[in-house]
């Protein structure tokens, strides 16, 4: 880098001492010095004080500045005394040769600033000049006005650990500034093309103006609060053009339009969201970014996870971004295994499985089937201050009080975390997901060394999970003894009680295709969705359905006997014989009780729906 090779700048003056020039005493001490040095007369002091008093609060200039501006006192003489009095470094540029290297350094450093700050530097006569290395690298800022508060603004915005203020005379400064301006105008811009495309300079101001004009910060705040209040799980911020953004909410698993922001730049909307989140860079538009937001909504602290992905718009030149915000409502303390929708028999099996001191408890189902909620309820059920409960997930969905939640990061992957947990004296371990042979091996190892282990798997149904683990390379005899229970889960939308209507004439073949017996059809009360102001298209809230494959001695034997392939059908048949209620049947039960609709049962439990997420 060219900067590093610049020679240190010789400066006069002393290291900073007592710089109390902001206090009235300091100024009056300095004013006395000016009088003693013959730079000003006592009469001028009296006149300037009278002048300042007459202006009152509106004039915030220091007395010596008033003396220069209003009473014609020689600026350089005052500042000469000033820099001595306050031990500012000074530099006489007229005695230095201005190298092309120096000019290039100043130009490039200025260009590294956002346009807005470049304007601040110009308006306040501040120029970056060189680097000094004395312990930490310092950037020298030269200025004819060394107490200007904007020096700190510019100093902090530059990519160096520290900055140092150096006084130069106004004449010196203006001469140098002219050279720099001429140089910048003649030099082709060194910036890469994409920055030029972006026109980032204009962008800063335009976006800020747009954000102010549209009260966007307030609007976005309101959207966050709305999402929490209506129970949305995700907020989607989707640009639909240069000046149109759709806000969609996912409620009960379905996306629907919540608000359309017209006539405001889409990138201004995304800028506000990015600014609200810790992490994302407002001006980075080529990368996927993640962030976090915490907001208080109705007296409750709610966390939001923000995911940003660049997308293209119809106007290819524009860089747009899709933003999805997951609402991480603190798991309401009311979630427990008693109230997440387990049917009585399933609940009994589940309780028995998590009541064992060791073994694996697996939840299966597609993304968004409520597996994390059920795992949370399970951990709550076994929680005990005498147990060391460790969770490792990526990302962490909920903060669970009373557990130690491992934070994964680029230096600590899932595999290393699991190996470390083995040595961390755990009683209960929750592994977000069994992804591959390595995680499966470690989960089995945990279970076989006396730990209760909770995890999830992506499979169609409970028997499929056994097959999946087998295919991952886990030996049947290890599987047979490591696994306690496998619970398949789905979420079904519930009909809105306020507007649902009884449906008398559902064609019998449709009901039969869902697996209803003639008797079930004859005794069921079926409803269909209508839609009212209290719901979304006739649905309000969701409930879970489950099938619980408890590893009984008979099923254990079937697993042990597997040589080259797990007999899924055999396991299913045995489980059904032993009382496992399949997902379909749980759904049909809800249908017959009028909790959900025919279309919802069909959508979640027909063979197609059960298979469309299998690998």
Q: Which residues here bind Zn ion, judged by CB under 5 A?
A: 496, 498-499, 532, 534-535
198, 252, 539 from 498: Cα distances, Å: 51, 17, 10
Q: Which of 376, 410, 377 is nearest to 396 (CA)?
A: 376
Least Å from the CB of residue 525 to Zn ion: 18
Helix (H) or strand (E) segment spanning residue 607 = helix 607-611
Helix (H) or strand (E) segment spanning residue 592 = helix 583-592
Nearer to Zn ion, 400 or 496 (CB): 496
Least Å from the CB of residue 541 to Zn ion: 11
- What contacts 355, CB < 8 A, 6 or more positions away? 382
Q: Give the three-class secondary structure for 275.
A: helix
Phi and psi torsions of 32, nearest 5° = -60, -40
Nearer to Zn ion, 539 or 550 (CB): 539
Residue with tokens 């976006």: 207
Helix, strand counts (H, E) of the chain: 26, 19
Least Å from the CB of residue 481 to Zn ion: 49
Least Å from the CB of residue 251 to Zn ion: 13
Least Å from the CB of residue 538 to Zn ion: 6
Nearer to Zn ion, 371 or 494 (CB): 494
Nearer to Zn ion, 446 or 499 (CB): 499
Q: Which of 36, 38, 35, 37 is nearest to 49 (CA)?
A: 35
Least Å from the CB of residue 600 to Zn ion: 14
Nearer to Zn ion, 144 or 529 (CB): 529
Strand pairing of 162-167 and 136-143? Answer: parallel
Nearer to Zn ion, 107 or 529 (CB): 529
For 289-306, letters b (16+ CB in 10 Å) and e give bebebeeebeeeebebbb
CA distance 511 to 521: 7
Q: For the purposes of burial, counting CB atoms within 10 Å of the CB of 212, is it exposed (0-12), middle (13-18) or buried (19 or more)?
A: exposed
Least Å from the CB of residue 248 to Zn ion: 20
Q: Pull the structure tokens for residue 415.
A: 């595999």
Q: What angle do CA 564, 570, 575 make, to 5 degrees?
A: 130
Phi and psi torsions of 540, nearest 5° = -150, 115
CA distance 297 to 394: 26
Nearer to Zn ion, 45 or 251 (CB): 251
Least Å from the CB of residue 532 to Zn ion: 4
Q: What is the DSSP string of 72-103?
A: ---HHHHHHHHHHHTT-EE--GGGS---HHHH
Least Å from the CB of residue 381 to Zn ion: 33
Beta bridge partners of 545: 490
Q: Is the peptide bond before 395 cis (omega within 30 degrees of 0)?
A: yes
Per the CB < 8 A criterion, the answer to whether 144 and 167 are in contact is yes
CB atoms inside a 10 Å sphere around CB 400 = 19
Helix (H) or strand (E) segment spanning residue 120 = helix 115-123
Nearer to Zn ion, 2 or 533 (CB): 533
Least Å from the CB of residue 527 to Zn ion: 11
Least Å from the CB of residue 250 to Zn ion: 18
Nearer to Zn ion, 80 or 541 (CB): 541
Nearer to Zn ion, 9 or 532 (CB): 532
Nearer to Zn ion, 146 or 529 (CB): 529
Least Å from the CB of residue 489 to Zn ion: 26
Nearer to Zn ion, 1 or 533 (CB): 533
When computed from its CA atoms, the radius of gyration of the chain, rounded to whole angstroms, is 35
């Amino acid at each position: 880098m060219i900067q590093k090779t610049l020679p240190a700048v010789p400066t006069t003056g002393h290291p900073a001492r007592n710089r109390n020039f902001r206090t009235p005493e300091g100024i009056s001490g300095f004013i006395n010095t000016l009088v003693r040095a013959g730079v000003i007369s006592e009469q001028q002091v009296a006149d300037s004080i009278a002048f300042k008093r007459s202006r009152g609060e509106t004039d915030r200039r220091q007395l010596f500045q008033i003396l220069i501006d209003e009473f014609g006192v020689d600026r350089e003489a005052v500042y000469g005394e000033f820099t001595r009095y306050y031990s500012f470094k000074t530099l006489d540029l007229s005695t230095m040769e201005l190298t092309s290297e120096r000019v290039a350094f100043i130009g490039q450093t200025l260009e590294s600033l956002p346009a807005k700050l470049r304007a601040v530097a110009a308006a306040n006569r501040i120029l970056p000049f060189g680097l000094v290395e004395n312990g930490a690298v310092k950037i020298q800022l030269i200025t004819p006005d060394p107490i200007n508060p904007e020096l700190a603004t510019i100093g902090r915005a530059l990519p160096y650990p520290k900055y140092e203020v150096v006084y130069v005379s106004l004449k010196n400064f203006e001469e140098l500034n002219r050279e720099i301006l001429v140089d910048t105008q003649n030099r082709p811009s060194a910036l890469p093309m994409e920055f030029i495309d972006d026109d980032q300079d204009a962008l800063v101001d335009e976006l800020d103006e747009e954000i102010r004009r549209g009260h966007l910060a307030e609007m976005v705040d309101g959207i966050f609060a709305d999402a929490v209040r209506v129970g949305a799980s995700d907020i989607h911020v989707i640009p639909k053009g240069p000046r149109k953004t759709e806000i969609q909410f996912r409620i009960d698993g379905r996306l629907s339009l919540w608000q359309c922001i017209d006539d405001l730049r889409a990138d201004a909307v995304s800028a506000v969201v990015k600014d609200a989140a810790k992490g994302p860079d407002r001006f980075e538009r080529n990368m996927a970014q993640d962030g976090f937001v915490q907001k208080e909504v109705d007296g409750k602290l709610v966390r939001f996870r923000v995911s940003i992905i660049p997308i293209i718009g119809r106007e290819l030149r524009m860089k747009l971004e899709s933003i999805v915000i997951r609402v991480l409502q603190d798991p309401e303390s009311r979630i427990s295994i008693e109230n997440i929708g387990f049917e009585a028999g399933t609940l009994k099996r589940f309780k028995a499985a998590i009541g064992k001191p060791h073994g694996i408890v697996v939840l299966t189902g597609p993304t968004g089937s409520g597996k994390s909620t059920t795992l949370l309820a399970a951990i709550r059920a076994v929680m005990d201050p005498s147990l060391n409960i460790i969770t490792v997930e990526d990302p962490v969905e909920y903060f669970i009080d009373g557990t130690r939640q491992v934070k994964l990061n680029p230096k600590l992957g899932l595999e290393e975390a699991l190996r470390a947990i083995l040595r961390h004296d755990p009683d209960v371990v929750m592994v977000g997901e069994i992804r591959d042979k390595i995680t499966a091996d470690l989960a089995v190892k945990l279970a076989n060394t006396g730990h209760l282990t909770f995890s999830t798997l992506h499979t169609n149904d409970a028997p499929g999970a056994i097959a999946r683990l087998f295919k991952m390379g886990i030996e049947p005899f290890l599987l047979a003894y490591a696994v306690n229970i496998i619970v398949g889960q789905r979420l079904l939308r519930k009909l809105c009680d306020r507007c649902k209507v009884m449906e008398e004439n559902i064609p019998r073949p449709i009901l039969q295709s869902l697996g209803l017996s003639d008797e079930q059809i004859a005794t069921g009360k079926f409803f269909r969705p209508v839609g009212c102001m209290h719901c979304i298209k006739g649905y309000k809230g969701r409930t879970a359905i489950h099938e619980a494959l408890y590893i009984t001695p008979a099923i254990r034997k079937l697993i042990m006997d597997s040589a080259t392939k797990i007999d899924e059908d055999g396991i299913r048949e045995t489980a059904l014989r032993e009382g496992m209620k399949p997902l379909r049947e749980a759904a049909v039960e809800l249908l017959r009780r009028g909790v959900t609709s025919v279309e919802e049962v069909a959508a979640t439990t027909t063979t197609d729906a059960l298979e469309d997420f299998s690998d």
